[in-house]
Chain A
Amino acid sequence: MSDTRDGAPEDAAVDGGHDPASSTHTVRLELVDEPGQLLAALQPIANNGGNLLSIYHERGNKTPRGRIPVEVDFEATAERFEAIVEALREDGITVMQAGTERYAEEITLLLFGHLIDTDLSDTLSRIEASASTSVADVSLAAPQGTEESSSARLRLEARSGESAAAIAAVRDIAEEKDLRVVAPLAGVDA
């Protein structure tokens, strides 16, 4: 999706029309199929000065995880756009694509071992800190309490072409903490 759909701009910063500093942005979100989710996703856009243009809500077209893809177009300055994407993420909304920055590759993997004793939140923030990865979703199962082995399912978003690097980064962190990784088969639609 291009952020210059209003015509070929002479200057990338001045292509919006209404406000000389604004331009049109598209964010692609994945929403949980629950009432109020769409409104919750639009609020951070409005609250941070985004001017909503259109919403494409693909209600009948769920992702394999049962989420609903939504595409939102809005006008905002570059600075406000950054703040909007940040606010969306802070609210726990899955941003699949923001402007030209595209988290094209989604990776689901499992971790097991002493996840809680080895500080799961530290594990996750270190995965986040690795250059190309964002942690979109975490599910934890610790049926035996914190003493025994537990499991987590992580959904990561990596930039295009960087899935292998993202998995390698997770492996390094896991190895250090004596955790095991069940990685997906890379490049295989298994």
Chain B
Amino acid sequence: MRLAVIGAGAVGRSVVELADEYGHEVVAVADSSSAVVADAETGSGVDAEVVVTRKAEAGVVGDDDPEDALAADYDALVEATPTTLGDAEPGFSHVRTALERDRHAVLANKGPVAERYGDLQALVADNAGGVRFEATVGGAIPAVSTVEDIEPGHVTAVRGVLNGTANFILTRMAAEGLDYEHVLAEAQDLGVAEADPSFDVDGTDAALKCVILANVLSFGAADDPADAREFTLADADVEGIRDIPGSTLRLAAEDGRTVRLIGEATGETVRVAPRLVHENGTLAVSGTQNIVQIETSHAGRLNISGRGAGGPETASAVLGDVGRLG
């Protein structure tokens, strides 16, 4: 398929670099201020290496206007701009543009699926293209497609560890007996936590992923999308890990347990909170690992763990989606 990649952060760049390996061709790349678009007449393509180098050195991906990438002749648009809340713009409009042109859209941006799932489904219903968003939940972990394979009506709950930064902090606090502030500084030095870690440590990121899963469960189980309950971040009950003292983790460890930031989604509720789990239990993944646990009606419990973030990891989920749409 011919891809237009909107967003040139770690995920967008990895999609550009790996697309060829998956048998796809990148015909346009845009970041917030620039774009490069293949020209069919002159035969000039998008050279992944050139784009990535130019982004690193000059902060732009090419000489074209971002609008040109949206108008390019692609089969699927990859939306990999940063997640925004509320109206989920400009990501939502990028996806709308693609769908209204009867093209497919693949999202790595959580905003449109967490905040405007209903609007997005309405656009899909009215147009020929499809929308997929595996990369928005758990990075490389095939959470959404596994739920779809089992069928949302036969999935009673999805829970798991969905934020690597928070998990890294809790893991280090427990292992080293250190306090939150100390471990956060270490995580920031290692590049595991951002300068402003709020999105991760306050549980917002995990909550968005659970909201997306709740939408998949709710819309997937409904006979008519009009009957489905739509979830947004406002529907999630969210507690983060910011105030947890080191002594809490020590008390948990004395009892063979530990604390993990666990997100849970059903078709009715979304909840993210630090929870007590067994130290060697399935959900107590270490460091930046993520895990998704799917509770089914007829097939018991499924666990999938793996890397929940990272450029190539998330790009593999994006390219898997492109393959499903092809």
Closest to A184 in B: B276
The answer to whether B247 touches A141 (Cβ under 8 A) is: yes
The answer to whether B257 touches A151 (Cβ under 8 A) is: no
Between-chain CB contacts (< 8 Å), 13 pairs:
A64-B256, A110-B259, A112-B247, A141-B247, A143-B247, A149-B247, A151-B247, A151-B248, A151-B250, A153-B251, A182-B244, A182-B275, A184-B276
Does A190 have its Cβ within 8 Å of any Cβ on chain B?
Answer: yes
The answer to whether A110 touches B248 (Cβ under 8 A) is: yes
CA distance A173 to B31 in the complex (A): 50
Does B281 have its Cβ within 8 Å of any Cβ on chain A?
Answer: yes
B256 shortest CB reach to chain A, Å? 6
The answer to whether B252 touches A149 (Cβ under 8 A) is: no
Does B142 have its Cβ within 8 Å of any Cβ on chain A?
Answer: no
Does B326 have its Cβ within 8 Å of any Cβ on chain A?
Answer: no
- What 0/1 pattern do residues 264 to 305 of B give for CB contact below 8 A with A? 000000000111111001111000000001000000000000
A139 shortest CB reach to chain B, Å? 6
Chain B residues in 8 Å Cβ range of A142: 247
Residues of B at the A interface (CB closer than 8 Å) are 159, 239, 243-248, 250-252, 254-257, 259, 262, 273-278, 281-284, 293
Q: A149-B243, A185-B276, A189-B278 are in contact. List 12 more A-B contacts (CB 8 A).
A: A110-B251, A110-B259, A112-B244, A139-B255, A150-B247, A180-B239, A182-B275, A183-B273, A184-B275, A184-B277, A185-B283, A188-B293
Closest to A139 in B: B251
Residues of A at the B interface (CB closer than 8 Å) are 64-65, 108-110, 112-113, 139, 141-143, 148-153, 180, 182-185, 188-190
CA distance A190 to B275 in the complex (A): 10
* Residue of B247, B250, B273 with highest tally of chain A CB at under 10 A: B247
CA distance A98 to B284 in the complex (A): 34
Closest to B295 in A: A188
Given contacts A139-B254, A190-B283, contact A110 B245 (CB under 8 A): no
The answer to whether A182 touches B262 (Cβ under 8 A) is: no
Chain A residues in 8 Å Cβ range of B256: 64-65
Closest to A148 in B: B245
The answer to whether B245 touches A151 (Cβ under 8 A) is: yes
* Residue of B250, B257, B259, B293 with highest tally of chain A CB at under 10 A: B257
Chain A residues in 8 Å Cβ range of B254: 139, 153
B296 shortest CB reach to chain A, Å? 14
B273 shortest CB reach to chain A, Å? 7
The answer to whether A183 touches B275 (Cβ under 8 A) is: yes
Given contacts A180-B239, A185-B275, contact A108 B255 (CB under 8 A): yes
Chain A residues in 8 Å Cβ range of B257: 108
CA distance A109 to B250 in the complex (A): 13
The answer to whether B255 touches A185 (Cβ under 8 A) is: no
Closest to A137 in B: B255
CA distance A150 to B246 in the complex (A): 9
* Residue of B243, B248, B257 with highest tally of chain A CB at under 10 A: B248
Q: Which residue in B243, B244, B248, B277 is a CB contact (below 8 Å) of A190?
A: B277
Q: Which residue in A151, A183, A184 is a CB contact (below 8 Å) of B251?
A: A151
Chain A residues in 8 Å Cβ range of B283: 185, 188, 190
B72 shortest CB reach to chain A, Å? 47
Q: Which residue in B243, B276, B284 is a CB contact (below 8 Å) of A109?
A: B276
Chain B residues in 8 Å Cβ range of A113: 243
The answer to whether A185 touches B159 (Cβ under 8 A) is: yes
Given contacts A112-B243, A143-B247, A185-B283, contact A153 B277 (CB under 8 A): no
The answer to whether A153 touches B274 (Cβ under 8 A) is: no
Chain A residues in 8 Å Cβ range of B250: 141, 151
The answer to whether B243 touches A180 (Cβ under 8 A) is: yes
Closest to B157 in A: A188
The answer to whether A189 touches B281 (Cβ under 8 A) is: yes
Q: Which residue in A139, A149, A152, A183 is a CB contact (below 8 Å) of B276?
A: A183
Closest to A109 in B: B276
* Residue of A151, A152, A184, A189 with highest tally of chain B CB at under 10 A: A151
B59 shortest CB reach to chain A, Å? 42
Nearest 9 pairs between A and B by C-beta? A141-B247, A151-B248, A151-B247, A153-B251, A190-B277, A190-B283, A190-B281, A184-B276, A149-B245
